[in-house]
């Protein structure tokens, strides 16, 4: 089970002034599953309005209704071997989206598996969060307990020329469990009737 407060700890930082996102990468896919273009750039190099727009997209995933629209899934040992999706996600996470070959492989896998009757975009975000130590009364002590290195993926239908709508699905990897990284888990998002979505 995911803890709502853990997710809120992440989303509170997803503002243009507080974000520590390092990169954003993605691809535009037509309804036939063909890649129509890709991008990969330093997140902080984006113009302010672009950062704001993309943060809204990223925030949708952890902000979703916990254990309803955003659910925790554990990888089995058999699903974590060579050539697995887990291995691909770990590669993307550890390289911080900087390996174009891994990114293109990921887009190919999504395009093959994800069925849509309209064009859509894949957005992938990378972040490194210095998780602060908290006292028993939840007061922040200031020191960093660990660095949570993670990616968020959002799949959005295109509402216009390269203009994304609200994410239909996505994930947070690795899961953020008890304020710590769990590389054996992934939090998967599916859009639904969710009053908590921004």
Percent over 90 (pLDDT), the chain: 86
Flag whether 129 is in a domain.
yes
Give the pLDDT confidence score for residue 141 in this predicted structure: 56
Mean per-residue pLDDT for 129-144?
69
The pLDDT of residue 144 is above 90:
no
Going through 43-184 in order, the beta strands assigned E by DSSP cover 70-74, 120-134, 140-160, 163-164, 169-173, 175-177, 180-182
Mean per-residue pLDDT for 46-58?
96
The pLDDT of residue 132 is above 70:
yes
Flag whether 195 is in a domain.
no
Flag whether 32 is in a domain.
yes
The whole domain housing 99 covers 4-190
Q: What is the count of structural domains for the chain? A: 1
Flag whether 197 is in a domain.
no
Give the pLDDT confidence score for residue 96 in this predicted structure: 98
Flag whether 175 is in a domain.
yes
What's the pLDDT tens digit per position in 180-198? 999 999 999 999 754 444 4
Flag whether 198 is in a domain.
no
Contact indicator for 171, 48 with CB cutoff of 8 Å? no
Place of tokens 């969060």: 129
């Amino acid at each position: 089970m995911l803890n709502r407060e853990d997710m809120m700890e992440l989303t509170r930082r997803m503002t243009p002034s507080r974000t520590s996102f390092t990169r954003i990468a993605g691809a535009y896919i037509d309804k036939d599953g063909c890649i129509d273009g890709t991008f990969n750039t330093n997140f902080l190099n984006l113009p302010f309005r672009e950062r704001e727009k993309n943060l809204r997209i990223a925030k949708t995933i952890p902000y979703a209704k916990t254990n309803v629209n955003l659910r925790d899934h554990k990888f089995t040992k058999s699903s974590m071997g060579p050539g697995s999706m887990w291995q691909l996600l770990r590669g993307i996470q550890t390289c911080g989206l900087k390996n174009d070959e891994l990114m293109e492989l990921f887009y190919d896998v999504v395009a093959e598996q994800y069925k849509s009757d309209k064009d859509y975009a894949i957005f992938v975000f990378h972040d490194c969060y210095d998780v602060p130590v908290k006292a028993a009364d939840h007061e922040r002590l200031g020191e960093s307990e660990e660095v949570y290195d993670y990616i968020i993926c959002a799949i959005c239908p295109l509402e216009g020329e390269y203009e994304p709508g609200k994410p239909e699905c996505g994930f947070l990897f690795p899961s953020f469990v008890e304020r710590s990284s769990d590389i054996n888990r992934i939090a998967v998002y599916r859009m639904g009737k969710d009053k908590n979505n921004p």
